[in-house]
Structure 1
């Protein structure tokens, strides 16, 4: 990299000087020497202009992450608590025994993708745009079951190549409920407790799986709490995690069906995302208006939230769409 930058700067300097007036060979050599000397003395300055696998670009911001979870994620007290502790503990561990593996579950619109984005933003200076954050979507990247063996090979090569390039890489797998069974098992060795595999250590990497599978179990627990008159905030991880892992493991329509990732306990946390209530939809709406540069208007947001679908049908407690469609709906109501 240093040689490339030196040549680039040298060429640039020569072109600029040549555009002004002819220069002698001795002056050109002097410029080259000066540039080379500058780079040798201030080589780290180059890291500020191009993303690389260094602390200037990858550094965990726990305070910012916690604040974002508190102010931008609504109705997910269980997920917020679990994810914050899991990510913080992993990032503060200088010698983890395995990669961090999180599996986020819940109905669409409850915040799974959003939390993945917040995790990326708390670690990588460029967030989801970072060259070290890799997003895979089942229907886009692995659409054809007939190519399953090819996908396995490609996925292994992709992960190995990127972790070799930067040990602190993040891999997000969306639509796990649409993933072909067996595909995700191909990366099992990279999630295990190996110190190295073929000279590569995967222990600093992060793997996040997003899935709608198990959403029914989560909804049922939330509904039971509401029916018995118990407060939503009383729901804890222990009420959901075991049933959730068993549900996705035994679901033939899930990418986790009979997967060794669950069988070998390689998933660190199964994180449940609860169905959102009316008040949470309103909070999302007000936040979205502010994000659009508009003054939050409770009357407009209430009108939009009221027209969405809820269940149980008579009581209208839980939103069926969550916050996913709020951005487009608000454009209509505003």
Structure 2
């Protein structure tokens, strides 16, 4: 018992000594503050020094308090016997030294129950109480998306309708019927020409003009095809937007080629400006292009190949010439027994002749490199008889088959090859022979 009393008395003495030291330090700091406070020249430096003094007092107090607790624990541990109950001196109760492990019942039972209850309520709700699944909210953005789809569909549909209206304006179906009825033996060239026209006339905005060059021997229907196109477009876009240019008629002298080129450029400029105002596409037909001078070809190439304004891009240029007729005649006579010729596949014939003509025409002038080349083949005896029948019907003669066959036999033909008999002059002499009747 005496050891316990001595330990308690020593701990009380250390506490009194620590309290005395604290009182002395605090008194000293207070006296310093009062001395600074009593000085007549009080400033910001005095206020900051007092604040630092208070902070030092607080720090010293905390250090002394911690030291006192450590000393009390050391004294209590040294004075106890193994198995004897510990006895400590009475002190003021605070929550500074309390830890959750000091109260096992409170720290183990209550917080876990609270956490379980919170988890049940928040994270894991009772499924038995939910009689119906939660309703999923519908996003209003879906309706905006549906509206956008509807607008795009209407715009695309209107664009397609506008394209159809633009094609119907030029009546390409009527043009196709006319060409198939009036042009004989040139189904491949007619199909290729109609494809180019449909693709180009399906819209009004283009990045370059349409240039088509028809080549073939004499009498195969080049000029006749040009007259049919000119007549159809005059009925559609008007007389002022169609030009038929015959070189031997408009510019017969080679010395006037430069002047003719300037006049032709002025005429084309005036027509394309008028067509731009009326929102139509003009047609320029150049017959007998093999007689065109280099000055005229250069002027046309400048209008076709260079990046002109929009009105120059919306135009159709059609060239008719017999350039390359030797290649066409040679190809058809040497390949008349082939599968494409025997089956009458004129589109295959066009595909075979186009590269041959392009390679030879590009050497003559650079204008043909910008053109879509379509060859016209030789006419057979059956095609010549159709020409006689059509011309006699126009002139009012009775279409006697024996008479037509007799007239067709008077025309010169190439030697029969592969069962085909091709005319050397085509239908060129048909009109003259019918006029003699």
TM-score by length of 1: 0.72
Does the CA contact (< 8 Å) of 1:107 and 1:215 recur in 2?
yes
Structure 1 residues 102 and 159: alpha-carbon distance in aligned structure 2, compared to 1, 3 A threshold? same
Bigger Rg, structure 1 or 2:
2
Structure 1 residues 139 and 166: alpha-carbon distance in aligned structure 2, compared to 1, 3 A threshold? same
Which of the numbers 302, 320, 330 marks the counterpart of 1:210? 320
Does the CA contact (< 8 Å) of 2:289 and 2:319 recur in 1?
yes
Aligned residue in 2 for 1:169:
282
Are 1:261 and 2:370 counterparts? no
Which of the numbers 175, 178, 185 marks the counterpart of 1:75? 185
Structure 1 residues 81 and 193: alpha-carbon distance in aligned structure 2, compared to 1, 3 A threshold? farther
Aligned residue in 2 for 1:158:
267
Q: Equivalent residues in 2 for 1:319-334 (5 A)?
A: 319-332=423-436, 334=437
CA–CA distance in structure 1, aligned partners of residues 233 and 226 of structure 2: 11
Higher RCO, 1 vs 2 (CA within 8 Å, ≥6 residues apart): 1
Does the CA contact (< 8 Å) of 1:61 and 1:123 recur in 2?
no
SS at match of 2:244: strand
Which of the numbers 216, 221, 235 marks the counterpart of 2:331? 221
Are 1:233 and 2:369 counterparts? no
Are 1:289 and 2:392 counterparts? yes
Shift of 1:194: 2.7
Aligned residue in 2 for 1:138:
247
Aligned residue in 2 for 1:185:
298
| Structure with more helix by fraction | 2
SS at match of 1:208: strand
Structure 1 residues 157 and 70: alpha-carbon distance in aligned structure 2, compared to 1, 3 A threshold? same
CA–CA distance in structure 2, aligned partners of residues 311 and 112 of structure 1: 20
Are 1:248 and 2:248 counterparts? no
Aligned residue in 2 for 1:311:
414
Count residues with an aligned counterpart: 264
Deviations 1:219-276 (A, max 9, x none): 11211221457416234322011111222233xxxxxx2x2323xx321x11111010
CA–CA distance in structure 1, aligned partners of residues 248 and 204 of structure 2: 36
Aligned residue in 2 for 1:20:
none
Structure 1 residues 280 and 150: alpha-carbon distance in aligned structure 2, compared to 1, 3 A threshold? same
CA–CA distance in structure 2, aligned partners of residues 221 and 281 of structure 1: 20
CA–CA distance in structure 2, aligned partners of residues 325 and 295 of structure 1: 19
Does the CA contact (< 8 Å) of 1:97 and 1:193 recur in 2?
no
Structure 1 residues 275 and 241: alpha-carbon distance in aligned structure 2, compared to 1, 3 A threshold? same
Shift of 1:96: 2.0
- In the alignment, structure 2 segments of 5+ residues that lack a partner are 1-164
Q: Equivalent residues in 2 for 1:4-15 (5 A)?
A: none
Deviations 1:260-307 (A, max 9, x none): 323xx321x111110101000001111112222333221121111100
Does the CA contact (< 8 Å) of 1:60 and 1:124 recur in 2?
no
CA–CA distance in structure 2, aligned partners of residues 139 and 174 of structure 1: 9
**RMSD of aligned alpha carbons:** 2.6
Does the CA contact (< 8 Å) of 1:98 and 1:193 recur in 2?
no
Shift of 1:328: 2.0
CA–CA distance in structure 2, aligned partners of residues 153 and 71 of structure 1: 38
CA–CA distance in structure 2, aligned partners of residues 135 and 202 of structure 1: 18
Are 1:62 and 2:62 counterparts? no
CA–CA distance in structure 1, aligned partners of residues 308 and 236 of structure 2: 29
